[in-house]
Amino acid sequence: MNAIASGRPREIPGDAGWPLIGQSLDYLFRLDRAVHERYRRYGEVSWGQAFGTRSIILLGPDANQFVLQNRGELFANAAWEHFIARFFHRGLMLLDFDEHRWHRRLMQGAFQREALAAYLERMNPRIEQTLASWPLGVRLRMFEQLKALTLDLGAEAFAGQPPGAQAQRLNRAFLATVRAATGLIRADWPLTRWRRGLLGRRVLEDFFRAELPRKRADGGGDLFARLCQARAEDGAAFSDEDIVNHMIFVLMAAHDTSTITLTNMIYWLGKCPEWQERLRAASRALGRQTLSLDDLPRLEAMTWVMKEALRLCAPVPGLPRRAVRDCEYKGFRIPAGHMVQISVWFTHTTPEWWSAPQRFDPERFAEPRAEDRRHPFLWIPFGGGAHKCLGLHFGEMEVKAILHQMLLRFRWRLPEDYLMRQDFTSLPIPRDRLPLRLERL
The two beta strands, 339-343 and 318-323, are antiparallel
Q: Is 127 in the site for ligand HEM (CB under 6 A)?
A: no
Q: Is 253 in the site for ligand HEM (CB under 6 A)?
A: yes
**Which residue, 23 or 341, is less far from ligand HEM as judged by CB?**
341
Q: Please choose, out of 52-60, 257-265, 334-342, 432-440, the segment that lies near ligand HEM by the rule CB under 6 A.
A: 257-265
Q: Please choose, out of 197-205, 227-235, 386-394, 426-434, the segment that lies near ligand HEM by the rule CB under 6 A.
A: 386-394
| Number of shown-chain residues binding ligand HEM (CB under 6 A) | 22
Q: Is 77 in the site for ligand HEM (CB under 6 A)?
A: yes
CB 112 within 8 A of CB 89: no
Which of 59, 319, 324, 327 touches ligand HEM (CB under 6 A)?
Answer: 319
Contacts of 19 (CB under 8 A, 6+ apart): none
**Which residue, 139 or 388, is less far from ligand HEM as judged by CB?**
388
Q: How many residues does the chain have?
A: 441
Which of 183, 391, 428, 430 touches ligand HEM (CB under 6 A)?
Answer: 391
Q: Is 261 in the site for ligand HEM (CB under 6 A)?
A: yes
Q: Is 106 in the site for ligand HEM (CB under 6 A)?
A: no
Which of 161, 245, 257, 276 touches ligand HEM (CB under 6 A)?
Answer: 257
Q: What is the C-alpha to C-alpha distance for residues 441 and 437, in angstroms, rounded to an integer?
A: 12
Q: What is the C-alpha to C-alpha distance for residues 338 and 321, in angstroms, rounded to an integer?
A: 9
**Which residue, 56 or 390, is less far from ligand HEM as judged by CB?**
390
Work out how close the CB of 437 gets to ligand HEM at its nearest, in angstroms, rounded to a whole number: 26
Give the Cα-Cα-Cα angle 373, 376, 378 (nearest 5 degrees). 80
**Which residue, 111 or 196, is less far from ligand HEM as judged by CB?**
111
CB 86 within 8 A of CB 198: yes
**Which residue, 196 or 248, is less far from ligand HEM as judged by CB?**
248
Q: Is 342 in the site for ligand HEM (CB under 6 A)?
A: no
Q: Is 258 in the site for ligand HEM (CB under 6 A)?
A: yes
Q: Is 394 in the site for ligand HEM (CB under 6 A)?
A: yes
Work out how close the CB of 164 gets to ligand HEM at its nearest, in angstroms, rounded to a whole number: 22
> What backbone phi and psi angles, to 5 degrees, belong to 18?
-75, 150
**Which residue, 22 or 384, is less far from ligand HEM as judged by CB?**
384
Q: Is 200 in the site for ligand HEM (CB under 6 A)?
A: no
Which of 342, 378, 389, 434 touches ligand HEM (CB under 6 A)?
Answer: 389
Which of 60, 183, 197, 395 touches ligand HEM (CB under 6 A)?
Answer: 395
Q: Is 92 in the site for ligand HEM (CB under 6 A)?
A: yes
**Which residue, 104 or 413, is less far from ligand HEM as judged by CB?**
104
Q: Is 313 in the site for ligand HEM (CB under 6 A)?
A: no
Q: Is 382 in the site for ligand HEM (CB under 6 A)?
A: yes
Work out how close the CB of 256 gets to ligand HEM at its nearest, in angstroms, rounded to a whole number: 9
**Which residue, 96 or 371, is less far from ligand HEM as judged by CB?**
96
Q: Which of 325, 373, 369, 317 is nearest to 347 (CA)?
A: 317
Q: Is 316 in the site for ligand HEM (CB under 6 A)?
A: yes
Which of 230, 302, 390, 401 touches ligand HEM (CB under 6 A)?
Answer: 390
Q: Would you give the distance in Å from CA 412 to the centre of its chain?
A: 25
Q: Is 67 in the site for ligand HEM (CB under 6 A)?
A: no
Q: Please choose, out of 36-44, 203-211, 330-338, 390-398, the segment that lies near ligand HEM by the rule CB under 6 A.
A: 390-398
Note the residues at the interface with ligand HEM (CB under 6 A).
77, 92-93, 104, 250, 253-254, 257-258, 261, 315-316, 319, 381-383, 387, 389-391, 394-395
